[in-house]
Amino acid sequence: MRNIFLGLAFGAIVFVVIIGVLKNREVEKPLLLELKEKYTGRKDIKKVDHSKFENLNKNFKEPQEVTKECESCHNLTAQEIMKSNHFNWEREEYIKGKGIIYLGKKNSINNFCIASHGNEKSCAKCHVGLGLDENGNMVLDAENIDCMVCHDNTETYMKAPERGGEPVKTLNFEKIAQNVGNPKRSNCGVCHFYGGGGNNVKHGDLEMAQFSPDKSVDIHMAVEGVNLQCVDCHITTNHNISGKLYSLCSMNRERVTCEQCHTETPHKENIINEHTLKVSCQACHIPVYAKVNSTKIYWDWSTAGKLKNGEPYVEKDELGNHKYMSIKGSFVWGKNLKPDYIWFNGSASHYLMGEQIENPSVPLVLNPLFGSYRDGDSKIIPVKIHTARQPYDPVNKTVIIPKLYDPNKGSGAFWKDFDWVKASEIGMKENGLPFSGKVDFIETRMYWPINHMVSSAKQSVQCVECHTRKGSRLANLTDFYIPGRDFSKIVDYGGTLMILFTLLGVFGHGGGRIIAFYKRRGKQK
């Protein structure tokens, strides 16, 4: 009787365990599969058909007329745009040691085309406004918001070159206005893929191949994969687009993270999840960047201005990239690059206009990213480092903002007249900064975090690429211990020596015994 009860009880336990195991399997669908199902083969379901609106059914001559019609229905949207950095080209930022400042494309200094103010006619092609006033300043009112550049779904909208943000006037605005919708990769890409004056010049991980990439270029944007659009991750509320890059931003806020979809512990193996405390997802999952086209990694302004027969010229390297341009200087490009790695806690500083350089003999970092192993908020992130030699004033010890673009020769703009002193004088004056009349060149660096061009899990960085004595990807991060890379010299040399002495002792002692044995045998004979 007792045995029957025990048997039944045992059977019941086994049954419950089996049910439990099977049930768990059913419920716990892998997150990755869930995400794939959610995003694969989505159809763009329109809620509004703009072609049915009568006020969009007219022959628009000027882009401002379109904006006016947009705002006649979306009558509070202009306020959102006029608060956005895409329109204002600045944000309120707090920088440690520098306080609260308003920083953006309007007033920041980089080591590509250096600065925008004074060169708007060329630079503002990527402004979400519709053009400049007669003084060459951007017009920041509701009428001059460029709705179409982001919302055109026909892929026909185009800004005119060197017209300060105006579109090409011959476009069919009527068709565009009737076909507006959520921004696609093509809308964001026309500016963000070409930053720095050409494809992939600035970022290295954002380029025209991502208009319709395959999985090997970008696992997320791949057309045959989940085909994510920029705004799927860069979640936007009230025209405030999340995610920003530390070439311009300083504060740890409104960031886009991998974790927002993938969670903080997405791996099956705990030991890999444990890495996420200190290692960003990007560090392992973006093994190389600039996968399709090259990106600029070095820019030497000091060689600019050479002329052939009085005319500026261009030289290309074997991949077809500009090696030399009279207007810009010499370049080095890189393709399929392994990123550099740094500690980063989400906040950055910036070299500000007119700031005095403390030590011009060391490279000036224009956007230092903060972080270290000891800092609990820091993680290792991959970056592209862009190095340049750019003009600076050796007397005032400031980076020079030269006047680069002007449509006319004789205006003093460097791209027309190739005179550094004159271009610097005008540029500095337009920005309200002192200029000594002397031009020298200083080495500068910029850190560009790499966040796109994520590879498949199989192609991610392998353990041994960091955990190795020679050629570790993290060879430059020396403020902490990595198993396989680091060791204590005392312990390693001491330990090896100890083992050698032990072996020596063993062989000495054993040898002695063998000799003694044969000696004894000889005596016995």
Partner 1 sequence: MSKYVLLYKGFERFWHWMQALLIIFLAFSGFEIHGFYSFLGFQEAVLYHNIAAYSLIVLTVFAIFWHLTTGEYKQYIPTFKNIKAQLDFYLLGIFRNAPHPTKKTLLSKLNPLQRLTYFGLKVVLIPATIFSGLLYIFYRYPGIYGIEAINIGSLKIIAIAHTACAFMLVAFLIGHVYLTTTGEKITTNLKAMLTGYEELEEEVEEEKNGNQ
Q: Which residues bind partner 1 (CB under 8 A)?
A: 264-265, 270-271, 273-277, 373-374, 462-464, 467-469, 480-481, 483-488, 491-492, 494-496, 498-499, 502-503, 505-506, 509-510, 512-513, 516, 520
Following DSSP, what letter does each residue of 291-360 receive, concatenated? -SS-EEEEEEGGGTT--BTTB--EEE-TTS-EEEETTTEEEEEESSBPPEEEEE-S-B--PBTTPPPS-T
Alpha-carbon distance 453 to 289, whole Å?
Answer: 6
CB of 266 to partner 1, least distance (A): 11
Q: How far is CA 411 from its chain centroid?
A: 36
Choose among 498, 481, 396, 482: nearest CA to 438: 396
For tokens 């590879």, the residue is: 455
| Closer CB to partner 1, 44 or 479, in the complex | 479
CB of 494 to partner 1, least distance (A): 8
Q: Do residues 261 and 350 lie in contact, with contact meaning Cβ atoms separated by under 8 Å?
A: no
| Closer CB to partner 1, 11 or 494, in the complex | 494
Both tokens assigned to 40 = 């694969």
| Closer CB to partner 1, 43 or 523, in the complex | 523
Helices assigned H by DSSP within 91-247:
120-123, 148-151, 173-178, 185-192, 230-233
CB of 515 to partner 1, least distance (A): 8
Q: Do residues 90 and 80 lie in contact, with contact meaning Cβ atoms separated by under 8 Å?
A: no
Alpha-carbon distance 441 to 301, whole Å?
Answer: 8
| Closer CB to partner 1, 208 or 475, in the complex | 475
Collect all residues with Cβ–Cβ distance below 8 Å to 477 and sequence separation of at least 6: 341, 342, 343, 373, 380
HEC profile for 359-381?
CCCCCEECCCECCCCCCCCCEEE
| Closer CB to partner 1, 30 or 495, in the complex | 495
| Closer CB to partner 1, 52 or 521, in the complex | 521
| Closer CB to partner 1, 11 or 495, in the complex | 495
| Closer CB to partner 1, 310 or 471, in the complex | 471
Q: Do residues 283 and 338 lie in contact, with contact meaning Cβ atoms separated by under 8 Å?
A: no
Bridge partners, 441 (sequence order): 391
- What are the φ/ψ torsions at residue 331 (nearest 5 degrees)? -130, 155
Choose among 461, 483, 457, 459: nearest CA to 473: 461
| Closer CB to partner 1, 237 or 476, in the complex | 476
CB of 270 to partner 1, least distance (A): 5
Collect all residues with Cβ–Cβ distance below 8 Å to 502 and sequence separation of at least 6: none
Other C-beta atoms closer than 10 Å to the C-beta of 289 total 28
| Closer CB to partner 1, 236 or 460, in the complex | 460
CB of 251 to partner 1, least distance (A): 24
CB of 121 to partner 1, least distance (A): 51
DSSP E strands in 363-437: the ranges are 364-365, 379-393, 398-399
CB of 139 to partner 1, least distance (A): 48
Amino acid at 137: N
| Closer CB to partner 1, 316 or 513, in the complex | 513
| Closer CB to partner 1, 278 or 429, in the complex | 278
CB of 478 to partner 1, least distance (A): 12
| Closer CB to partner 1, 308 or 374, in the complex | 374
Q: How far is CA 265 from CA 270, 311, 447, in A?
A: 8, 58, 27
Residues in the chain: 525
Alpha-carbon distance 468 to 470, whole Å?
Answer: 6
Give the β-pairing of 398-399 and 240-241.
Answer: unpaired
Kindly state the DSSP code that residue 28 receives in the 8-state scheme. Answer: -
